Amino acid sequence: MEIAFYNGEFLQEVDEKIIPIQERGHQFGDGVYEVVRVYNNKPFMLEEHLDRFQKSAEAILLQLPYTRQELTEIIDQGVKRSQEKNVDVYFQVTRGIAPRLHLFPNTKAVFSMTIKPSRPIDPAKKESGVAVLLLEDERWKNCYIKSLNLLPNVIAKQHAASRGCDEAILVKDGSITEGSSSNLFVIKDGTIYTTPATKGILHGITRLAVFQLAEKMELPIKEQHFTEEFLLQADEAFITSTTQEILPINKVDEFEIPTHYTITKKLQNEFLKLTK
């Protein structure tokens, strides 16, 4: 069962048409969002997601309409209503409903949520890896904010798909930042590398889980900027996101990446233990 929640009420139909034309999320992308995966009725790393949600809202000067406890209760109630054990919870907050002006209106923020059965991850991709395409990073400077403004990400993802790739890896000023909807990790000589968590990338929750797993497994991990050439010379590489978990990379543009995935497989196995 799919569940929807809008402005204080659970809806009868997830496709019910209820968004007003003057909604600022619709007109300006004036809002922030989160996606949480639920495994066996338990939201994975929910506190970390709510931390990021709060920080994103604060970064765009937006007051959340619910307390942290209220948000948790709404999510829990929605998961129970879905009658599903494994779901993806999408929730967002916008600046509300007001006549279309650039200046902030004196309105209450609007919270909405959908809950749907988790999209299955292709076992072949988890095992054999995915292809990625290198593209210029044309996004704004504050990618740490999980904003509704995702048009550059969407275009990059579409360019990748049109070339038969699963993800676009973005490059700015000669350094790789992240994927269009994922974080990137490179493994070289037994050390895991990833771009530092600056304002220029999303501080991924699965990215954070990888750091925790690496510490537990006593695997060295470094945050540092690196180039396309460093990626192409990797012993292994993988991407992470809430809905894709940990996926190895087997091809970058036309270049093959080694596919033994020794460390990546270990991380996948430990991540599986976390979610079970």
Q: What local confidence, expressed as pLDDT, does residue 233 receive?
A: 96
Question: How does 215-233 read in b/e, with b if 16+ C-beta sit within 10 Å?
Answer: eeeebebeeebbebebbee
- Write out the two tokens for 127: 């095992």
Partner residues linked to 217 by β-bridges? none
Shared fold status for 3-117 and 123-275:
no
The answer to whether the beta carbons of residues 236 and 248 sit under 8 Å apart is: yes
Phi, psi of 126 (to 5 degrees): -65, -35
> What type of residue sits at position 236?
E
For residue 185, count other CB atoms closer than 10 A to its CB.
26
Phi, psi of 22 (to 5 degrees): -90, 15
Task: Report, as residue numbers or ranges, the catalytic residues.
Answer: 146
- Residues contacting residue 8 through CB under 8 Å, at least 6 positions apart: 111
Q: What are the boundaries of each domain within the chain?
A: 3-117, 123-275
Q: What local confidence, expressed as pLDDT, does residue 12 receive?
A: 76
Q: What local confidence, expressed as pLDDT, does residue 203 receive?
A: 98
For residue 266, count other CB atoms closer than 10 A to its CB.
14
Cα distances from 241 to residues 181, 183, 185, 209, in angstroms, run 7, 7, 12, 10
Q: What local confidence, expressed as pLDDT, does residue 15 receive?
A: 78
Question: How does 71-88 read in b/e, with b if 16+ C-beta sit within 10 Å?
Answer: beebbeebbeebebeebb
Nearest to 133 by CA among 102, 162, 91: 162
Q: What local confidence, expressed as pLDDT, does residue 47 receive?
A: 98
- Write out the two tokens for 90: 């999408």
Q: Could you please report the per-residue DSSP string of 6-59?
A: ETTEE-S-TT-----TTBHHHHH--EEEEEEEEETTEETTHHHHHHHHHHHHHH
Q: What three-state secondary structure class fits 252?
A: strand
- Domain at 123-275: CATH code: 3.20.10.10
Nearest to 246 by CA among 222, 225, 270, 230: 270
pTM, entire model = 0.95
Q: Please, what is the Cα angle at 54 between 50 and 58, to 5 degrees?
A: 170
Q: Please, what is the Cα angle at 1 between 209 and 41, to 5 degrees?
A: 35
Q: What local confidence, expressed as pLDDT, does residue 193 receive?
A: 98
Render each residue's pLDDT in the chain as its tens digit; 276 residues.
Answer: 899 999 999 987 777 788 899 999 999 999 999 999 999 999 999 999 999 999 999 999 999 999 999 999 999 999 999 999 999 999 999 999 999 999 999 999 999 999 999 999 999 999 999 999 999 999 999 999 999 999 999 999 999 999 999 999 999 999 999 999 999 999 999 999 999 999 999 999 999 999 999 999 999 999 999 999 999 999 999 999 999 999 999 999 999 998 889 999 999 999 999 998
- Report residue 41 CA to chain centroid gap: 20
Q: Which CATH architecture has domain 3-117?
A: 2-Layer Sandwich (3.30)
Largest CA distance in the chain: 57
